[in-house]
Amino acid sequence: MVPITVVESELAAQFQQVGPASAPAYERVKNLIAAGVRSGRWSDGQQLPSEHQLVSALGLSRMTINRALRELTHEGLIVRRAGVGTFVATPKAASALLQVRNIADDVRRHGHRHRTEVVHVREESSEVADPELRAVAGPTVFRSLIVHFEDDTPIQLEDRLVNPAAVPHYLERDFTRQTPHAYLNEVAPLTRGEHIVEAVLADSTERRLLRIARHEPCLLVRRRTWSYDVLVSSARLLHPGSRHRLEGSFGAD
């Protein structure tokens, strides 16, 4: 037995006026909850109404409520724990997502020719790697240093470390024919990733390989990728600021 509380009838009233009336029910539920979270109506870490309560309050089926809450979880607005409840996620501000694309596709999508030059591909002591990669990789890692070109302009310097346990035949590949990214994705499908983007100045070696001037600002993307919970690769992608940018969008609710 679940009595209709004040909270629930409030919700029912707001439900009528959230977003376009023609939108599907699960969208309107998402808008309702998102509006409540973003306005501070429910604050950080606070428990939201349960699915069952929302079913009673809004007169929808549990599957519809469930879909709305599941998608909001995916979007990072709320956090759910089985057996406990649904809570406002702590970084409550709407977070925006930026898409970091594969550079080869990006170049071709803009109608240019993509090619690579391989500086070296070799085995090195895993002391050059971060602790997490070192832990899973053993005493040595594979390392490739590759320059990506758009037509004949250098556009990315890719310095990549690879876990030999996950990709034993990495050294044998010809990376002028297939990018490391594409090969890794084939051998160990990318299921998780992490990025850090910074603005930096390149050192002299990097400037020479990218053919840029002394004070040209560069976009540095550090990327680590996992395949089914195994850390596969850790890369340092350096782009001349004048020749490359990251684009992306989010939402399209």
By CB under 8 A, the count of residues binding its own copies is: 61
Residues 153-192 contacting its own copies, CB under 8 A: 181-182, 185-186, 189-192
In angstroms, give the least distance from the CB of 6 to its own copies: 23
Nearer to DNA, 49 or 240 (CB): 49
Q: Distance of alpha carbon 11 from its chain centroid, rounded? A: 33
- Residue 139 CB, shortest distance to its own copies, in Å, is 28
What is d(CA 176, CA 161) in angstroms, rounded to the nearest whole number? 17
- 120 vs 215, beta carbon nearer its own copies: 215
User: At its nearest, how many Å lie between DNA and the CB of residue 43?
Assistant: 17
Q: Please identify, using beta-carbon distances, which residue of 1 and 199 lies nearer to its own copies.
A: 199
252 binds its own copies, rule: CB under 8 A: yes
152 or 198: CB nearest its own copies:
198
**Any idea what the Cα angle at residue 234 is, between residues 98 and 186, rounded to 5°?**
85
Q: Which of 234, 239, 59, 235 is nearest to 157 (CA)?
A: 239
Name the residue among 94, 89, 95 with its Cα closest to residue 38.
94
Instruction: Show the CA angle centred on residue 42, arms to residues 97 and 91, nearest 5°.
Output: 30
Q: Which of 3, 39, 152, 203 binds its own copies (CB under 8 A)?
A: 39
Based on the number of CB atoms within 10 Å of its own CB, is 131 exposed (0-12), middle (13-18) or buried (19 or more)?
exposed
Q: Can you give the length of the chain in residues? A: 253
Torsion of CA 55, 61, 66, 69, to 10 degrees: -50
Q: Extract the tokens encoding 175.
A: 């990376």
The contact mask relative to its own copies for 108-147 (x = CB under 8 A, - = no) is: -x--------------------------------------
The least distance separating its own copies from the CB of residue 64, rounded to whole angstroms, comes to 13
CB of 97 to its own copies, least distance (A): 4
Closest CA to 228 of 176, 183, 180, 191: 191
Q: How far is the CB of 249 from DNA (least distance, A)?
A: 18
Binding residues for its own copies, rule: CB under 8 A, are 19-20, 31, 34-35, 38-40, 74, 76, 91-102, 104-105, 109, 181-182, 185-186, 189-201, 215, 217-219, 223, 226, 228, 239-241, 245-253
